[in-house]
Structure 1
Amino acid sequence: MEGKPLSELANSLISVFDEEVPETRDRKISVNPVVSKVASIYEKVRNAMDYRDQEVILRAAIERILKRRTLFGGVAKTIAEPLVRELVWARYFPDESVSESMTARVEERIDLYIKLRHEILAKHSIISEKSLNEWIYHLMSSDVEHTLCPRKKKEYMSNFMFRVMRDNITIIDEGEQQKDIQVFIAVHKSYAKDDLAMLRFHLFNQFLGKLTAENLPKVIENFPEGYREINNQLNYPRKDKIFNYIKDKTVIFFVLEDFLNIGKGGIKQLINDDGEFRRIIYSICEARYAGIASKVRTAIFRSIIFLLLTKALFALSIEGTFESIFYGRVLWTAILINIVVPPLLMAALGFSIKTPDRENSKKIFNYIRAILLSGDPKLANQLSIKTKPDKMKPLLNTIFSFLWIITFFLVFGIIFYVLNRFSFNPLSMFVFVFFLAIVSFLAYRINQVAKIYSIEPRKNVMTSVTDFLFIPFVTVGRKLTDGISQINVFLFLLDFVIEAPFKGLFSFFEQWFLFLQNKREELE
């Protein structure tokens, strides 16, 4: 590979990673270390109760703070500085890493979205107030995160991945613009790990432009059209097919990002040294594989906390009450099985996950070399789809649907039979199956965490059998998990009853410690 020129696209990407980021000399926000320690512990407990991907926790925390402070009558001027300070307390940002001047920018962004909400409610009826509030909090929290944490390299890598992937996908009966939007969404979901809020924010900027004081009237006027288009794109019928194809290739760009960060200042020389280039890519892959174990452990821990808290609430408040009324006593054996078994099953499924092999690293290296050297890199298996997929023959469709239903009822029937042998009452059976579905979904999510570093994972007979048996559980579990997250009583109590006075105490003690420090300095 000695002397081979890099593609123009690769050169542009490398220049971004080689760029030195100037450090600002503004005064930084500093918080008391004792307050920060307590706040960070609280935040870890709070996040464990709300099952989210690690990459969206910061944005979710910002949204939570915005909701709490606006609920109690806050405006941009009174929200911005405490919001930033809370984030530093909770160690989302290291102490003295955020400039004090940043609060003015955050205040400006919050104020714009509050004005946007007010004007849309006054001028448009396309969206209910409840839905608009959700949209505004999504847009505002995403914008505040981007303001505090720009992630320029992540954005450039996302754009690079988009440019590579778009040429490997064809939607036969759609135009290029439709394909580009769907590839854009899939890249941001798979590589940047954007949630619905962040996707709405990016699409809002694409369709309506970045919100500023100058274009606010135009955004207000065009909001109904943008709102409809964004919803249509997020519900595109073939979005999952495109996303899954891109997700299987995402590891290439994770490893490439690591390589560009490691080789900063001498990236081109490393690429031209084939042996050293290969060694570094392989070592990055091994480090990523080793990191899977840590990610899986974290995911399992958070899942178990989520299960124990929601399961204990169900078991003690509903199951226990039911048994006391209809049986005259609490059947502790069934309740304990219901509380203990799902977390144990969760741990067993999680720790059975395997890491990729060296052949996987070889594929990643070959792909990275191809996309850096070729101006128009073509991947091994390109995707070609139609908006409306070819319909299955009616007879086969009927047979498969019938088999699916039979299997579904057979599996559930066996479970209910076994539980009945253990003297479970009807409600206990329902609760057990309810959480078994949730465990299936959470285990599936953890399995996806491990598979993210496997490029083009192979399918086999066992995979097909497992899919056939467990996808119904996973589907039901996903809906139940989302529902529980929406009505989780613990989260409501924490966010609106406990957190507000708790954070008030943090602020009081921080000022008290500052007062004591000043008094100490007067004595010296």
Structure 2
Amino acid sequence: MAKPTNEMEWLIDIYGHDYSIKAPKDVEKIKLSQMVSKLGFFYEKFRNAIDYNEEHLVRRNSIERFLRRQLLLLLEKDSLKISESLIHEFIRARYLPNETLPETFIAEVARPIKKYIEIIDYININRLPNGTKLTDWIIGVASSEINEKLTPDTKEVATVNLMYSHLVDNITFRKTNIDEKEKNLQIYIATLRTLLKSDPSTSRYFLLKLYLPNWNLMNTEETQIFCHNLYSIKDKIDKNLAHPISFQLARIIKSQSVFFNILREVMENNKDNLKELFAEPELLESAIEEVVVTNYKKIKGKLIGTILRVILYIFFTKTILALAIELPYDYFIVHEINWYALGTNIIFHPLLMFFIAMTIKIPGVKNTQIIISEIKKIVYGEERKLVFKAKGLMRRGSFSYLIFNFIYIIMFAFSFGIIISILRYFHFNALSGLLFIFFLTIVSFFGFRLRNLAKQLSVIPRKDNLFSFIVDFISLPIIRVGRFFSTNFAKINIFLFLLDFLIETPFKMLVEFLEKTVSFINDKREEIIE
């Protein structure tokens, strides 16, 4: 028999409870038409398919989109109406269950919405400087709080607190000149970023709750006091999130989040016999191994699916571009069709993606053994020594800054110089060459992201050697440019803009109207039966 730590026993107790929202038997439940709900569900699926987001951010982003539509486009001020509309929309999208939530839940969700309406009204009435950015900041925080209200994350937050307290006790800072309070705050932020994979809006919401413990219960008077201090609080939070050591610390702590994520999954899978499981280390080992192996299989399946989609997407996109742009350009402008360049531009990048895919490996037995060993240390309170050494940040304009940026420019010139030389040797014209380089950078960035996906459970440090240095030297500039193209082109999505502002609002209003029509007809039918 082994005894878990007091913190671990506290977490076991939390995971033994069910925190899902349920309606008492004598309370009326929110019920929507199954027929109309299908329209909302298929639209949400379509919307998410064309605007890829991480799975854990889909709900929050959907709430943010909803709030922008209601508060900024429709200028709705009634928090109860907004709450009802949001809950109905989420039931249709199947983010929330139908015929499960009590009608009183609408008023509960309306409370935080009312608070954010008051804050946005304050910004608009007083015409605060940078009001648009300030409103965006507030709506991001609002979407995080409302998401928490709709789908309580009690167990996740408890795991965050366990990981935070464990790191505070076991991590040693070196080469840093920040005080203890700031160290602890940065550990907390790094825990949010690695364990919850929180985006900026979610991190801001958690810090608001940290600075203002009464945030979720504030009345109108307290909200007005907050509004008077809005700029100072916002600046303080954003400054904390942008601290020089913040992302360095998150990179170090990332491997630690693997242990707590696996631990969380083990507890979810065994919530009916948690005390017995953690009392027997051998049983715990088996449960951890089962979860880890299952996750390896999930990652492998996700990789295969993603790789196939990317290869097909690149192949068809390149074929269309070749026929629609390259071929006419060669024929009408250059007056010579380079079939070799045309064929290479169609075939090379899908083959490169396939080659990158073949070199991606899922972690193995050694990685699993380390995960089991480290989780047992966390559970039973064995000492774990973690050291964080802050890397010195180069000041803009300093000698070191100029030298290393010069080296970076050389890396870019060398990498793209080689590519351009090869393309010129094979007589690629300007357009063919640009398309080749563009897709090379995109494929390289996709490959880099897929490698990171495969390594998300890896806790074995990477071993650098001469070969890996040469590969990094050549590929890093290409991946960097691919990242730039990928992130910036995603922002300039005209179709998404048109969908959100010209199609979504009338479509959602039509769905709401159909819902009320179906409800009205059902009521009349019931009257006839009576």
Short-chain TM bin: 0.7 to 0.9
2: distance between equivalents of 1:299 and 1:329?
Answer: 37
- Could you say which residue in structure 2 is the equivalent of 1:430? 434
* SS of equivalent residue, structure 2 residue 229: helix
What is the CA–CA distance in structure 2 between the aligned matches of 1:92 and 1:405, rounded to whole Å?
47
CA RMSD across the alignment: 3.7
2:419 is matched with which residue: 390, 415, 425?
A: 415
Equivalent residue, structure 1, for 2:85 = 82
| Among candidates 198, 203, 215, match of residue 199 of structure 1 | 203
Match of 1:506, SS state, is: helix
Single out whichever of 63-72 and 347-356 deviates more from structure 2: 347-356
Pick one of 162, 165, 176 that aligns with 1:163: 165
Go from structure 1 to structure 2 and tell me whether the alpha carbon gap of 1:48 and 1:345 turns closer, same or farther (over 3 Å shift).
farther
Please list the CA deviations of residues 347-381 of structure 1 after superposition, one character each: whole Å capped at 9, or x if unmatched: 6534642211111111111111111111x7424x4
Tell me if 1:153 matches 2:122.
no
One-letter code aligned to 1:139: V
| Aligned length in residues | 517
Give ranges in structure 1 of 5+ residues lacking alignment: none
The answer to whether the aligner puts 1:181 opposite 2:185 as a matched pair is: yes
Deviation (angstroms), 1:217: 2.2
Is the CA contact (8 Å cut-off) linking 2:3 and 2:279 kept in structure 1? Answer: no
Q: Structure 2: which 5+ residue stretches go unaligned?
A: none
Deviation, structure 1 residue 467: 2.8
- Higher mean C-alpha displacement, 340-349 vs 42-51: 340-349
Identity of aligned residues (%): 31
Query: 1:106 aligns to what?
Result: 109
AA aligned opposite 1:266: N
How far apart are the structure 2 equivalents of 1:239 and 1:29? 43
Separation of aligned partners in 2, 1:333 and 1:494 = 40
Structure of greater relative contact order (alpha carbons < 8 Å, 6+ residues apart): 1
Distance 2:52 2:249 in 1: 25
Contact 2:123/2:131 (<8 A) preserved: no
Q: 1:258 Cα shift?
A: 1.5
Question: 1:355 is matched with which residue?
Answer: 362
Picking from 474, 477, 488, the partner of 2:479 is: 474
Q: Which residue of 1 aligns with 2:292?
A: 285
Match of 2:502 in 1: 497
**Contact in 2 for aligned 1:49/1:306 (Cα 8 Å):** no
Structure 1 segment 267-286 matched on structure 2, within 5 A: 267-286=274-293
Give the corresponding residue for 2:384.
378
Q: After the TM superposition, which of the residue ranges 236-245 and 329-338 deviates more from structure 2? A: 329-338
C-alpha displacement of 1:419: 4.1
In the TM superposition, residue 153 of structure 1 has moved relative to its aligned partner by 0.1
- Please give the alpha-carbon distance, in whole angstroms, between the structure 2 residues aligned to 1:129 and 1:339: 47
Would you say 1:50 and 2:51 are equivalent positions?
yes
Matched, 1:260 2:278: no
Report SS of the residue matched to 1:189: helix
Deviations 1:124-166 (A, max 9, x none): 84x5022112102201111110110111000000111111122
Partner of 1:382: helix, strand, or coil?
strand
Query: How far apart, in 1, do the equivalents of 2:89 and 2:243 lie?
Result: 38
Q: Does 1:61 find its partner at 2:62?
A: yes
Contact 2:4–2:278 under 8 Å retained in 1: no
For residues 295-444 of structure 1, the aligned pairs below 5 Å read 295-297=302-304, 299-300=306-307, 345-346=352-353, 349-350=356-357, 352-374=359-381, 377-379=383-385, 381-385=386-390, 388=393, 398=403, 402-420=406-424, 424-444=428-448
Summarize the Cα distance change of 1:401–1:106 in structure 2 as closer, same or farther, 3 Å threshold: same
Displacement of 1:198: 0.9
Partner of 1:92: 95
Which stretch of structure 1 is more off in the superposition, 429-438 or 302-311? 302-311
- 1:73 corresponds to which residue? 75
Which secondary structure does the structure 2 equivalent of 1:501 belong to?
helix
Native 8 Å contact 1:311 1:339 kept in 2: yes
For residue 483 of structure 1, report the CA deviation from its aligned partner.
1.7
SS of 2:61 mapped into structure 1: helix
Q: Would the alpha carbon gap of residues 351 and 161 (structure 1) be closer, same or farther in structure 2, given more than 3 Å must change?
A: farther
1:458–1:371 Cα change, 3 Å: same
Q: Counterpart of 1:491 in structure 2: which amino acid?
A: L
- Range with greater deviation from structure 2 (13-22 or 185-194): 13-22
**1:232-251 → structure 2 map (5 Å cutoff):** 232-251=239-258
SS at match of 1:240: helix
- CA distance 1:454–1:170, change in 2 (3 Å): same
TM-score w.r.t. structure 1 length? 0.86
Q: What amino acid is the match of 2:23?
A: T
